[in-house]
Structure 1
């Protein structure tokens, strides 16, 4: 047997937040977490739809709250990030509190990218963004990845009760997003061996909890498990990401597709393309989930949740496919050694194959 040998990238890769607070009701500790950071002027950042929740948490922070910015939107337009920096400066903020899903966390990251303000993330969805120092910002209609330890949240507060108001369909799409993190990370050589088990357990937990959520949308246990699985999936994502994210980010940044739905539609077809090229790592995910047909199982999960499995269901026509292929190939530098861990090269043929399968929407494996 040959001696083991591996190298993992430094910097933001495989770096996770220094403090995690997890449990039902733990958001009531938010003021204490602001104080723990030594902050006195916390700016609460959320989406317009989550403004009432933002108000509630701002009240918990009390006189250490500098105000609220309820303007976050998906895909983080760079213009919005700039406005957010101006808002933070005018409010004298020395801390950012992200309340909601990936949009709120992403906007905080966009603000912190240049200001280096510390972030406390309070996620209510399963995007996993709160675990990483990566952020996709949309510039001139193309979502481009940025990375910096300045964007890595200092603290994450997970309170499953805050996710109970999340509509089931949105929660299901977000859960598929978490599964995409596990699957897209597990085969990368840049993933730390310490975090590879997070991808496996994260996939197992999310795949089991999603049907439980569908069966009982009010079940706190299912919401708790999904949040825990998303936490693990986000940790795994810190190792890097590959073709799944290249395609999904294209749909989000350039075609306005909601992030979770973008991942949902292409995940079975990306997995089908790669499962024969990376049978061992993806086999570990399949075994954890309890299936010998991983692509088809993912398709079944999406369909059982009433989620789309065809690009046409997201508003894309066949004429959009060629543009999507071009953007997916050029938005990221796939020759970069940190991104070159795909089991197969990210070629025009590969991306077009995935897009073509997603256009048909047929179940991978031939059964439906």
Structure 2
């Protein structure tokens, strides 16, 4: 048992860690982060240096079809170190794609992947690294935060299964705000809600720590200030930098673990075809409202950071203000989907949520999200 004096942060039961309060790392868990971060406008130009640092000589750039042009620009920076571009990544990392990419990497003698883009490209790089000796460098162009963790959801038989391994940690992450300038406003808003979700859940998950909590709170501040500026002027590089900084902190916070919110978002994405960032945006206000009564001090801190009376209301209002989605019905889901979706979410429960997860609670979350109404605590009374 370690003791943390006067941190001013929140404990696992929602009370404030203060002088003499005990803090335990649950299960002696240590969640690592990538060992090297390169952050700044123009940083992507240094990608060849980062490959050389790894003593790699046959690099493959991985991306989605939509990021093919950006990936080729990064490949050009690599010169003779690059053997090509693999533009086949898709969201939710289907196991069939992961296997095909692993076979390609092995056959071509690839010793380093460069994942360019969002969570789809980074997820594919992780899936390859999980079962090969190939390391990877992440060059994110969205706010997904996946680049900071050793977690990866791989979709098998229509269900997203979470995998955790130190093999899936990026060796280097290159954050270049210039790469986010082309991110459409709508995608920026949804991706930012994904990053915000990492920050919120990191504050109450049972494997949280004081360091992760500090990153999460700073991430909320950076996102809540930077993203509205991006919406007003997508070409504002400083605003893009602030939003990317918040996403970086959200990704760092995500290393502390995840709970019910990610379970809901992953099921919506993998089993119902809702885009990853969209699923986070829609689910976040309602899962937060469900958990508010279980950790009131934490939620009060979040509400103050958002300038709102409640955390869930503040998140809903923030999403609406930046044009991010908050309604499942708008994504094609119906009342008839609720029961099966509830069953799948229950299967993802890892015991780390601050409020017990049961079918009735998940059903209430999904039905509230289906309506798209502003969440209120009475919707989720225990």
Out of 279, 296, 299, the residue aligned to residue 262 of structure 1 is 279
Contact kept? 1:14, 1:195, Cα under 8 Å: no
Q: Which runs of 5+ in 1 are unaligned?
A: none
Question: What is the CA-CA distance between 1:212 and the residue it aligns to?
Answer: 0.9
Contiguous gaps of at least 5 residues in structure 2: 1-18, 378-382
Q: Aligned partners of 2:287, 2:208: CA distance in 1, in Å?
A: 19
CA distance, structure 1, for counterparts of residue 180 and residue 28 of structure 2: 33
Supply the distance in 1 between the matched residues of 2:176 and 2:132 (Cα, whole angstroms). Answer: 27
User: Paired residue for 1:18?
Assistant: 35
**Please, what TM-score do these two structures have when normalized by structure 2?**
0.91
Distance 1:56 1:225 in 2: 24
Equivalent runs, 1:125-164 vs 2, <5 Å? 125-164=142-181
Structure 2 vs 1, CA of residues 216 and 9 (structure 1 numbering), >3 Å: closer, same or farther?
farther
1:7 to 12, 25, 50: 25
Match of 1:230 among 217, 230, 247: 247
- Aligned-partner SS, 1:208: helix
Corresponding residue number in structure 2 for 1:342: 353
Q: How far did residue 277 of structure 1 move?
A: 1.3
**Number of equivalenced pairs:** 359
**Contact 1:143 / 1:249 at 8 angstroms: preserved in 2?**
yes
CA contact under 8 A between 1:14 and 1:235: conserved in structure 2? no
User: For residues 89-109 of structure 1, what are the alpha-carbon distances to aligned partners after superposition, in whole Å with 9 as ceiling and x for unaligned?
Assistant: 122111111000000000000
Give the SS at the match of 1:153: coil
Question: Cα offset for 1:8?
Answer: 4.3
Q: Which moved more, 1:195-204 or 1:122-131?
A: 195-204
Residue number in structure 2 paired with 1:122: 139
C-alpha separation in 2, matches of 1:105 and 1:297: 30
TM-fit CA distance, 1:359: 1.1
1:184 and 2:201 are equivalent in the alignment: yes
- Asked if 1:215 corresponds to 2:196, the answer is no
- Superposed, 1:310-329 pairs within 5 Å as 310-329=327-346
Q: Equivalent residue of 2:154, what SS?
A: strand
Deviations 1:12-46 (A, max 9, x none): x5211000000000100000000011111111100
RMSD (CA atoms): 1.4
Query: How far 1:3 moved relative to its partner?
Result: 5.3
Correspondence for 1:193:
210
- 1:264-302 Cα offsets, whole Å, 9 max, x none, are 111111111111211122222222333222211211122
2:14 maps to what in 1?
none
User: Matched residue of 2:96: which SS?
Assistant: helix
Shift of 1:257: 0.5
1:307 is aligned to 2:328: no
Q: 1:168·1:217 contact (CA, 8 Å) conserved in 2? A: yes
**1:45 paired to 2:56:** no
Q: Displacement of 1:10 after TM fit?
A: 5.7
Asked whether the 8 Å contact 1:129–1:234 carries over to 2, the reply is yes
Q: Post-superposition shift, 1:138?
A: 0.5
- Structure 1 residue 213 displacement after superposition: 1.0
Q: 2:179 & 2:21 partners in 1: Cα distance?
A: 47
The aligned runs of 1:74-93 (5 Å cut-off) are 74-93=91-110
Q: Does 1:355 align with 2:350?
A: no
In the TM superposition, residue 189 of structure 1 has moved relative to its aligned partner by 2.7
Contact 1:187 1:281 in 2 (8 A): yes
- CA deviation vs aligned residue, 1:71-92 (integer Å, no higher than 9, x gap): 0000000110001101111221
- Whether the 8 Å CA contact 2:89–2:124 is kept in 1: the answer is yes
Any conservation in 2 of the 1:14–1:192 contact (CA below 8 Å)? no
From 247, 253, 276, the equivalent of 2:264 is 247
Is 1:271 matched with 2:271? no
